[in-house]
Every structure is written in structure tokens, then in C-alpha cells.
Structure 1
Amino acid sequence: MVLYGLDGMTHRSQAYGLLAVGLREHWDLEQLPSIARGKRGKPLFPDFPQLRFNLSHSGPRALCALDWDEVGVDIQQITLRRSAFLDRLLSPEERAWLLGLGDDPEAFTQLWTLKESFCKFTGLGLTRPISAIPVPLPRQILPSGACLPFGSVCFTLFSGPGWRAAVCSPARCASSIRWLTPGQLPPVGKKIPQK
């Protein structure tokens, strides 16, 4: 698995430029293949079904994963959440976990990226309430690069000033993100899929 990150994104379509760079460097594809959606909306390459990818974006950052196996990624800016909002999104166990960490926005963002990356990994999307989607609950906010095995999947957590990210993949963790700037991307005129 390889991960590419973009810092300084000004247009959501730049995430496709990030994907194009990853495809060229990782799989020697000079052009971005056509992209379709699976039954539940997960993006895929119909002409290259063996090549798996996933994209996420938030604020000025985007994240792209490429692998031979299914993969899910999520990146989020850290923001404050209202308590009533949290009660609708989290299971009682998750809410207790978050309160135990001082209701910290960074802890919530870590939890949210775990849930989103798992949903994107499975390709099922939000076919059940987000509060019913189980993810690991570590005893503390974990540092960037932390690996969390959980059943048949592994989560890797990444973070930086003002953001958190998670990658979900089968039974192995990601090692690092290769960060790029907008100037390193080819122009790509495709729209980024909505989450």
C-alpha cells in the first residue's frame, strides 16, 4: 500500500491529480483510467479491477491510498462538535470513551476518521447508523503512525497540526504518507466524488 497526501489543496479536483501521480509512480499508468462507482458508491477502475484506491479530502488536504487489496481512507480537519450532535453519532461506549478523554475535539476526530475509513474500506457506506459501526477505542489519543489491529483489518492513524487521518486495510498497517504540493500535480479535469 502507498499513501499520497496533498497539502495546500485549493480545488477538490486536485485529489484526482494526487491519484494520477500515485498511479504513475506506483503502477506505471501514464493516464488516469476511467472511474466508475460500485453498487454502494465506492469508486473503482472498471478497466483495472485489480487496482484499488480510495480518496478523501478535508479543508486544504487530500489523502489517496493505492493497494492491491481493498482500502479506505479518511482525513478530517479538527473541529469542535456540539454534544447533541455527538449523542446521535456515537454509541454509548464511544461516548463514554470520548468523555473519558475530556470530550477532546482531537479524540472525536480520531474516532470519526476510524469510522469513515472503515465504511470506505468495506464499500458499504452508511447503510447502518454511524453509531453502530464498531472501531477500536484506544486508551488515549494516539500519535501519527500508530497501528491498531482490529479483527480482520488494521487501522493506521496519521496526524498533523489541525488534522487527523485513518487508513483501513486488511491485516497490515501503512507506513507513511508521501506529501505533495499542488504544484507537483498534473492538471486533471474530473470532479471528485462526494462522500
Structure 2
Amino acid sequence: MIKILITQAGTGWSGLTKTEQAKWLSAAGKELLAQGISQWFGVRWDCKEEKNRELATERNAWGKPFLVCHPEIHFNISHSGCLAACGFGDEPLGLDIQQCAAADYFRMADRFYTEADRELLRRTEETDRQKAFYQIWTKEESYAKWLGTALPNSIGKEKKEGFCRWFEPMPGYQGAVWTGKQEEIEIQWV
């Protein structure tokens, strides 16, 4: 079972600068990590107290974070728009959430998607195209994060291993989790 904690920025979000929003999202991701490892793994961590080296995070060569002294705890953080999320599992996972926005979907698909995904997008009714575009995008991002590599190393390439589960955290957002085995997901709002 993949467990996902999600939080939404409160009132006053729109009055923040982009820098302030980015800081809030980063802090929210750490708070969700602390809450999840306490709730599901019984490990206490005050993420504001960086002196706790037992729970220090480091990053692999491509930037994927991991807990140095608890390699058995697999997690991944994502944020977009006014949402932050952190997913947890007993195996590596990749999590991505995206706020859906208007875009030149075909131009981006031609640049980044596989031929099969481009064809799927072309066949999708216009009213469903934005959702389809972001489902494909979150699939790509979650796959790269599951592998622990940079997005350019995997985007637009056929996915030959693992499983993707999509979810809609709230209207106007799409999310995906990629794992090595088929698993259910449980979402908890905090």
C-alpha cells in the first residue's frame, strides 16, 4: 500500500511572492515527510531540528532524496500550485502532482512524449485533453522519480517496468505514483 499525505496552502497564498510560495511548498513537503515517518514507521523527527542526523536526508546523483540512516523508508515529495504531497512505501516510488493549466499540448507532446502517448492525446476529445495531457506528464515525472534519475533520461521513452497509478487530488490537479509492483494508494489530507 502506498500512502500519500497531501496538504493545501491556506488563505493568503495568492498574496505571497513566487519565492515565498516556493519556500512554503518546500517546508510543507518536509513537514509531510516528518508526519508520515512518525505515523507509519514510528520514527519521530522534528524537521525544524536539523541536528537530528539519524534522519538526515541526502540526495543521489540525480537529486532524489533519501533518509541516510533509514534506507528501508521509501518516500517521494512533490508540489505544484498550492499543493504539497509526500508518498511513502516499502519499496522505491515516484510521486508527481501537477496543477493543470492551459498549454500548447501538441507542441509539448511532440517534444516530450512517446508516439503512443502523442497518438492517445490526438485521439482524446478536446474537453478531456488537458486531463489526458497531465496524466501522461505525471506518469513521465513519477517514472523518472521512481528510477531516481533526471527526467531527461526517461521522458519520451517506453516504460518497460513498474506500474503507474493515477489520482486526482482535487479539481484542477492530476497526480501519479510509479512503483515496482501494483499497489493500491491511500490518500490522507492534512
TM-score of the superposed pair, with normalisation by structure 1: 0.78
Which residue of the other structure, out of 38, 42, 61, is the alignment partner of 2:64?
42
CA separation in 1, counterparts of 2:119 and 2:163? 23
8 A Cα contact 1:167 1:174, kept in partner: no
Contact 1:152 1:171 in 2 (8 A): no
What is the Cα-based RMSD across aligned positions, in Å? 1.7
The yes-or-no answer on 1:67 pairing with 2:89 is yes
Q: Distance in 2 between matches of 1:154 and 1:130?
A: 16
CA contact (8 A) 1:73 1:168 kept: yes
Cα distance between partner residues in 1 of 2:113 and 2:124:
14
1:152 CA displacement = 4.2
The residue aligned with 2:4 is 3
- Per-residue Cα deviation, 1:144-182 (whole angstroms, up to 9, x for no partner): xxxxxxx542211111300010011121223320011xx
Q: 2:162 aligns to what?
A: 153
Distance (whole Å) between structure 1 residues aligned to residue 153 and residue 113 of structure 2? 13
- The 3-state SS of whatever aligns with 1:130 is coil
Q: Larger helix proportion, structure 1 or 2?
A: 2
Matches of 1:113 and 1:126 in 2, distance apart? 11
Distance 1:169 1:130 in 2: 16
Contact residue 144 and residue 155 of structure 2 kept, 8 A:
no
SS at match of 1:97: helix
Q: Is contact 2:92-2:146 (8 Å) kept?
A: yes
Percent sequence identity is 27
List structure 1 runs of 4+ shifted beyond 6 angstroms.
none
Q: Distance in 1 between matches of 2:41 and 2:71?
A: 13
